[in-house]
Amino acid sequence: MIAIKKAPSGNRLRRTRRANPVGGCPLTAALAAIGGKWKLIIVYWLAESPKHFAALRRAMPGISQKVLTQQLRELIGDGIVRRQPTGAAPSPVEYSLTEYGQSVLPLVEGVRLWGRNHMARLAPGTDEAQGADK
């Protein structure tokens, strides 16, 4: 009897969009697309220039390969990131922002600036930091 091997199911790129958990709510739709710990950081690094997977891993040392792959797939599925093979398989793949993905950049910059101010507010020696300890 000859065994027929199936191709691993994990190697196919799925481009499905996740359903909005609260129908008709723009905030939950936005959070479904760009929420979470890593997505805005990925968009931030891709805004600088297109990057290979390894370059993204180096830019974000705290992210695992599995999580980066998952987050990139979701961003691709939502039309925010483009995946472009750079040659014949198994060549490296380059990731870049789509035109739609570039529309997220003002939000990324706003969150970055807010984060900088928040860090300064909580820095040791500030009134807000001392009040937070109480």
pTM of the model: 0.76
- Report if residue 124 sits inside a domain: no
- Report if residue 90 sits inside a domain: yes
- Report if residue 34 sits inside a domain: yes
- Report if residue 17 sits inside a domain: no
Tell me which residue range forms the domain holding 34: 25-102
pLDDT in tens, 59-93: 999 999 999 999 999 999 999 999 999 887 777 89
- Report if residue 41 sits inside a domain: yes
Domain of 81, CATH number, reads 1.10.10.10
- Report if residue 116 sits inside a domain: no
Is residue 11's pLDDT more than 60?
A: no
**What is the pLDDT at residue 84?**
94
Burial class (CB in 10 A: 0-12, 13-18, 19+), 74: buried
The tally of domains found in the chain comes to 1
Nearest to 75 by CA among 16, 11, 116, 9: 16
Distance in angstroms between the alpha carbons of the first and the last residue of the chain: 73
- Report if residue 13 sits inside a domain: no
Cα–Cα dist 65/63, whole Å: 7
**What is the pLDDT at residue 4?**
60
